[in-house]
Amino acid sequence: MASPNADATFEPMTPHVSRSDGQTWLGHPRQLARLFSVEAWERFGFYGLRALLVLYLTNHFLLSDHESNGIVGGYLSLAYLTPVVGGWVADRYLGSKRSVKFGAIMMSLGYLLLCFGGQPAKPLATFDGQSHAVHDVATGGTTHQYIDGADGKPLLIHGLADGSVQLVATGGAVTRTLAPGALVSGADRPKFYVGLMLLGLSIVAVGNGLFKPNISTVVGTLYPRGDPRRDAGFTIFYWGINLGSMGSQTLCPLFVSAFGWWAGFLLVAVGMAFAYVLMRFDGGRLDGYGEPPVSDGKDRAPWVYAIALAVVPLVFLVLLNVMDAPEATGSGVIGYLAALPFLGKVLMATFAAAVIGIPIWSYRVGTRVEAQMMLAAVVLVVFNVAFWTLFEQAASSLTLFADRSTTLELFGIPISAAQTQNFNSITIVIFAPIMSWVWTALARKGWEPSIPVKFGLALVLVGLGFVLLASSGHFAAGPVFRVSLWWLVATYFLHSIAELLISPVGLSMITKLSIARVVGLMMGVWFLSMSVAEYLAGAIAQAASVQTVGGQVTNAELGLRTYLSSFQTGGISTIVVGLVLLALTPVIKRLMHGVR
């Protein structure tokens, strides 16, 4: 996801900053060029990690799909939750510029720690209370897993489509069949390096909270109120997001293939270091922009830095809790909520309080029109969660699906599973100008769809993408049970068009519908909705978990069927949600009182 919506923030105009010195770049204040480059390098790091993370967890540490998807969802959830606090810290104490610099240092350090993963984990298979070392043997381009039998001779681990597992002797005789669930995959992995990985992610999440909401704020200070170049300036700025993501999602997997996991993470660490250098050594070009607020003369920055570092262990414990959380065994909504790890409980409770409490508060303190507009905003925020929950499967289940169940080649050229996330960025770069032209043309004729219609269509399209992908199973055959990668290309195309329907209007919708004095609070709720969506995306991916041994799927047919069944269920459900929103559009439009 490399879009304005998910990576933007509301930038209040502050009276204590200076304005442009008159020199321009592409018709904009020249400082925009430097901030454009800073954002490109920061997004290079963020999306590079996003492309590699789930594959790193499953293939290097040999964590189960359930654990890996939980970590990915938890990390990305925190990456969207911490900016809610980071923006407030900058407004009150640090100023935007210092927040960006310190956040960049933390993120670069976090990425660097990920380079130290130790030796790959050693796979284990456990049944009958005993653990057996697993040996990988590659034959004919396919990797098979063996354990040593009681007589010391190798036994092939052969998964069946019903989830059971056969142990097959060299001659082809089945020595034993284990019932579904009887064989448990595990690994001998150094806890130190797992902890170091979680620590690195924790540092990145906290640093992102200081960086992400404030780089956009600095851009906003380049323009005086009413400057007609402002929207165009942010459009240029967001091109940096797509350029950075395209670069890292292309290069990082190549470095991993050529040198190892450490090289991919080193690349994102260096990219983040470039972002810091551009902010730190600006030659005075950013003097007066994003400065600390006027205070009593006391510099509280050291205390803020110390508190930020002190938060890292707390985030570490949250990620550890997410990783170790057992699969939900309760029934119904209450059972599911009771089984949630700490992060899930906090997010759900906070979001529920916001979507219930804010409309009630609005009716008490605002006018009838203001209260209705706030209610419309909250309703759309809830539907926003549904969209990103499915869309963000790109960081987890879709990448694992690409790795395990697709041909991984286009036009005869092999690509890696991590590089498939680039399909989204490429589509956005190509079609964003086209969609902008379409909306402009429709607006001239008064035909441009309303905000609820765009949201509803986005939900339908993202659901259709998964339903389309689910139909690919009819074209898969044994023994490999892999589908053409073009099915995933088509899915990403639909998802990207859907993103262009919802992304450009989300934050704008919040600023238009919110009561003026609580716009900042509603922006926080918007980021909270993204955080909830990222967490739920991880939970949905956990439901699509596939049985593996040593990082390899035990049965390709069962793995493909599991993925496609989950995609179909999620796709149909989201289409229904989108149709419900379209049906509610007349009601929501009345609540919006003419806002488009």
Residue whose structure tokens are 């419309």: 376
Q: What is the pLDDT of residues 457-479, one digit of tens each?
A: 999 999 999 999 999 999 987 78
Q: Which residue has the higher pLDDT, 37 or 516?
A: 37
Whether 6 maps to a domain, the answer reads no
Report the domain count for the chain.
3
Alpha-carbon distances of 149 from 124, 143, 175, 328, 548, rounded to whole Å: 14, 19, 9, 34, 20
Sheet (strand 130-133) strand order: 130-133, 122-127, 184-188
Least confident window among 71-75, 206-210, 417-421, 520-524 = 520-524
Whether 575 maps to a domain, the answer reads yes
Mean pLDDT of 444-465: 93
Whether 459 maps to a domain, the answer reads yes
Q: What is the pLDDT of residues 330-369, one digit of tens each?
A: 555 555 566 778 899 999 999 999 999 999 999 998 899 9
Q: What is the pLDDT of residues 72-112, one digit of tens each?
A: 999 999 999 998 888 888 888 888 888 999 999 999 999 99
| End residue of a domain, out of 260, 291, 326 | 326
Whether 21 maps to a domain, the answer reads no
Question: What does the pLDDT read at residue 517?
Answer: 74
Give me the CATH number covering residue 470. Answer: 1.20.1250.20
Q: Across 337-351, 372-386, 501-515, which has the greatest mean pLDDT? A: 372-386
Residue 249 has pLDDT above 50, yes or no: yes
480 and 546 part of one domain: yes
The SS3 assignment for 34 reads helix
The mean pLDDT of the chain is 88
| End residue of a domain, out of 168, 187, 206 | 187
User: What are the φ/ψ torsions at residue 538 (nearest 5 degrees)?
Assistant: -65, -40
3-state SS, 342-360, equals HHHHHHHHHHHHHHHHHHH
273 and 129 part of one domain: no
Question: What does the pLDDT read at residue 14?
Answer: 42
For 183-206, letters b (16+ CB in 10 Å) and e give bebbbebeeebbebbbbbbbbbbb
Whether 50 maps to a domain, the answer reads no
Question: 56: which 2 tokens?
Answer: 């790193």
Alpha carbons 399 and 58: distance in angstroms, whole number:
11
Whether 427 maps to a domain, the answer reads yes
Q: What is the pLDDT of residues 257-312, one digit of tens each?
A: 999 999 999 999 999 999 999 988 877 777 777 777 776 567 788 999 999 999 99
Alpha carbons 46 and 212: distance in angstroms, whole number:
11
450 and 370 part of one domain: yes
371 and 420 part of one domain: yes
| End residue of a domain, out of 263, 296, 326 | 326
Could you list the residue range(s) of the whole structural domain that residue 172 is in? Answer: 122-187
Q: Which residue has the higher pLDDT, 482 or 445?
A: 482
Q: What is the pLDDT of residues 517-567, one digit of tens each?
A: 777 678 788 889 999 999 999 999 998 999 899 889 999 999 999 999 999
The SS3 assignment for 528 reads helix
74 and 219 part of one domain: yes
464 and 543 part of one domain: yes
Question: What does the pLDDT read at residue 17?
Answer: 42
414 and 477 part of one domain: yes
Pure H helices in 229-367: 230-259, 261-280, 301-324, 332-339, 342-365
**Judging by beta carbons within 10 Å of its beta carbon (0-12, 13-18, 19+), is residue 414 exposed, middle or buried?**
exposed
Question: What does the pLDDT read at residue 4?
Answer: 45
218 and 74 part of one domain: yes
177 and 288 part of one domain: no
Residue 35 has pLDDT above 90, yes or no: no
Q: What is the pLDDT of residues 380-391, one digit of tens each?
A: 999 999 999 999
Question: What does the pLDDT read at residue 220?
Answer: 73
Q: What is the pLDDT of residues 9-18, one digit of tens each?
A: 444 444 334 3
Residue 201 has pLDDT above 60, yes or no: yes
Q: Quick one: which H or E segment has residue 460?
A: helix 451-470
Whether 7 maps to a domain, the answer reads no
Whether 117 maps to a domain, the answer reads yes
Residue whose structure tokens are 């069949």: 177
397 and 494 part of one domain: yes
477 and 506 part of one domain: yes
Question: What does the pLDDT read at residue 427?
Answer: 92
Residues linked to residue 122 through DSSP beta bridges, in sequence order? 188
For residue 231, name the pLDDT band (cuts at 50, 70, 90).
low
491 and 560 part of one domain: yes
